[in-house]
Structure 1
Amino acid sequence: MIICKSGTELSFMRKAERVDSETDHFLAEHIEPSITTGELDHLADRYIRSQGAVPSFKGYNGFPASICASVNEQLVHGFPGKRKLNKGDIIAKTRQFTMSHAIRQYIENPNRGIPEQGPRLKTGMVLAIELMVHIGSRHVGALEDNWTVVTVNVASRARNEQAVAVTTDGMDIFTKLSA
């Protein structure tokens, strides 16, 4: 079921995404070798609450933290904890969205989509576009926590996430910070 959001709901989502994007920038200032993902989670929790917001991940279906902190082989939903970051590590803080089927299909099989298939975009729809591309084995698995998705034998990876709303004027990218 696709739910179209009202203007008021989109306004709340826009504010929440702004806090989320600002949290990313705040955390970037603290990422350095030897900091733990648990320390980053604590900093994020304090920052989010200082903005008058509540971390949406914490407690969601039993998730124990305010952010997901995925390092290196962890694609998404990594539990923050005692893992220390090393120079050259790749860390991604994620929101609670999943990659769209259409984008996955494009990456895996470019130009092979079926025209006129799937739902039409309508005003009020919000899309979570989460790209996860890795070079190496295509095989992935989950850790015992049943949340953390990891890659097997990865040479390199890239990840990006955007929240986009369909509006009467086109698209509104919630996760884009103004200069």
Structure 2
Amino acid sequence: MILYKTDEQVELMRISALLVSETLSEIAKILRPGLQTIEIDKLANQFILDHGAVPSFYNYHGFPHHIITSVNDVVVHGFPSKETLKDGDIISVDVGVIKNEYHGDHAYTFVIGDASEEILDLVRTTKESLFVGIKEAIVGKRLGDIGFAIQNHNEKKGYGVVRDFVGHGLGKSMHEDPQVPNYGKRGSGLLLKENLVVAIEPMINLGKKDVFIEKDGWTVRTKDGKPSVHFEHDVCIKKGEALILSDYTPIELAEKNNPNLKFSA
């Protein structure tokens, strides 16, 4: 069932989404080679609690951590651990919060230290494709227009567009209808109406699109072992131009100011 939001509910969701943005910006300040990903989890959990919210992901269908940290060939759902970040790693950090009963949920991929131009181009292109898809998230378009735009932008570079995991509706539940694929046919799928809130999240592989789930039942990796990048925004369908509820601005500022990070786009 599709749940359209009132303007008041959209504003509550913006508060949740912006708290995620603030959390990701705090994470961006501390990322460095040698940092254990479990330390990122601890920081994020405390920051979220200190701001009157709770982490969405903790114990969600049994997920054992507060945030998601996906390093290199991990596409999504990576566990924070005592694994340390290395120079040249990429890490996608996905954060969710519940505040005022509504979820915020978005992600950003960071480049630790120096990385090859091949990796930087993958990060840039994936991030660009998120905004290409958001341009299609307006009243009168269809879900397939969003997916087609993201797919086309990435596949023309030869990248693999993950099919097994997709974006989703968002509200009082973290995963609401509809599913929002990062691939599709122009002019197909659900007709987009005002105040539908969705999480648009391209998951793009340097190699092929194929992935597998590890024995832990969560961690998703590329089958060919090549890196994967994940960006995500919370978006409200509007007439003429989508309303982006989350905000990359503070994240990018922290990223630029951290000498241990490579600002890719």
TM-score, structure 2 as length reference: 0.60
Match of 2:47 in 1: 47
Residue 165 in structure 1 maps to residue 236 in structure 2: yes
Residues 166 and 172 in structure 1, CA contact (< 8 A), matched pair in contact too = yes
Is residue 4–residue 125 contact of structure 1 (8 Å, CA) maintained in 2? yes
- Distance in 2, matches of 1:178 and 1:137, equals 31
* Cα deviation digits, residues 95-140 of structure 1 (max 9, x gap): 467999745555167897252x322111220121101111223321
What pairs with 1:1-150 in structure 2 (closer than 5 Å)? 1-95=1-95, 102=144, 103-106=146-149, 107=151, 113-115=185-187, 117-150=188-221
Which secondary structure does the structure 2 equivalent of 1:29 belong to? helix
Shift of 1:7: 2.0
8 Å CA contact 1:128–1:164 kept in 2: the answer is: yes
Q: Which moved more, 1:86-95 or 1:102-111?
A: 102-111
Q: Single out whichever of 10-19 and 157-166 deviates more from structure 2.
A: 157-166
Q: Distance in 1 between matches of 2:54 and 2:198?
A: 21
Contact 1:134 1:154 in 2 (8 A): no
Q: CA deviation at 1:84?
A: 1.1
For the 8 Å contact 1:68–1:95, the answer to whether it is kept is yes
Alpha-carbon spacing, 1:95–1:105, altered in 2? closer, same or farther (3 Å): farther
SS at match of 2:231: strand
CA displacement at 1:170 relative to structure 2: 3.8
Determine the C-alpha separation between the residues in 1 that align with 2:184 and 2:202: 18
The structure, 1 or 2, with the larger RCO (C-alpha pairs under 8 Å, 6+ apart) is 2
Shift in CA distance, 137/166, structure 1 to aligned 2, threshold 3 Å: closer
Structure 1 stretches of 5 or more lacking a match? none
8 Å contact kept, 2:147–2:184: no
Task: Give 1:168 shift.
Answer: 5.6
1:94 maps to amino acid? D
Aligned partner of 2:196: which letter?
M
TM-score (norm 1): 0.86
% identity of equivalent residues: 34
Does the aligned pair in 2 maintain the 1:34–1:84 contact within 8 Å?
A: yes
- Please say which of residues 132-141 and 161-170 is displaced more in the overlay: 161-170
The Cα shift of 1:38 comes to 0.8
Residues in 1 aligned to 2:24 and 2:79: alpha-carbon distance in whole angstroms? 17
Deviation at 1:70, TM superposition (A): 0.5
Moved more, 105-114 or 120-129: 105-114
| Structure 2 unaligned residues grouped into runs of 5+ | 97-104, 107-129, 134-142, 157-182, 251-265
Separation of aligned partners in 1, 2:220 and 2:77: 7
Using a 3 Å threshold, how does the CA distance of structure 1 residues 90 and 178 change in structure 2: closer, same or farther?
A: closer
Bigger shift: 149-158 or 100-109? 100-109
Q: Secondary structure at the match of 2:33?
A: coil
What SS does structure 2 have at the residue aligned with 1:123? coil
Work out the number of aligned pairs and report it. Answer: 178
